[in-house]
Amino acid sequence: RFERLWLVAALVLIVLFIGTVTYGAVGAGYGMVDATGGQVDPTAPTAGDNFREPGVYDGSERGRYDVYVEAKQFLFVPGTSEPIRVPDDSTVTFHVTSTDVVHGFEVVGTNVNTMAVPGQVATVTVEFDEPGTYGLVCNEYCGSGHHTMEGQLRVV
């Protein structure tokens, strides 16, 4: 008599559990962004108007430079295919943005270590007082090629 009722009640509970778990994983926004940036809106704004073309620019003062860097899966532009070159004895302000997902931008061995967020520009300044070569690394997991995302900065 009651067996059927219990069976139905148990089934309802199971469905509720599955629903809760599914909601927790997907609905609450913890879904993984896949390696191709599946959840990223391709129409999302990239950088604002205050972001110039990627590259190294002479600053307004002597010895000051502005470097505009674009991070994208899985490159720094400039930095990866050709090194960023800045002169020795300089003060360099990096302006860093991303055109796809969140990346990191670290100049190894300096205080430059920031996130690169789509639609935002991170700004960080560092002084270089001797020539050298620095590695650039991405330290935010950004997809299957994250571990290959690196570049170089040369102070010459």
In the complex, the residues that contact ligand CUA under the rule CB under 6 A are: 74, 103, 138, 140-142, 146, 149
Closest CA to 70 of 57, 82, 79: 79
Tell me how far, at minimum, the Cβ of 104 lies from ligand CUA, in Å.
6
- Our CB check for ligand CUA shows the closer of 84 and 155 to be 84
Tell me how far, at minimum, the Cβ of 76 lies from ligand CUA, in Å.
9
Task: Record the tokens describing residue 17, joined without a space.
Answer: 């559990």
Place of tokens 């390696």: 35
Check residue 29 and report its DSSP letter: S
CA distances from 92 to 23, 73, 146 (A): 46, 24, 26
Tell me how far, at minimum, the Cβ of 100 lies from ligand CUA, in Å.
9
- Our CB check for ligand CUA shows the closer of 66 and 150 to be 150
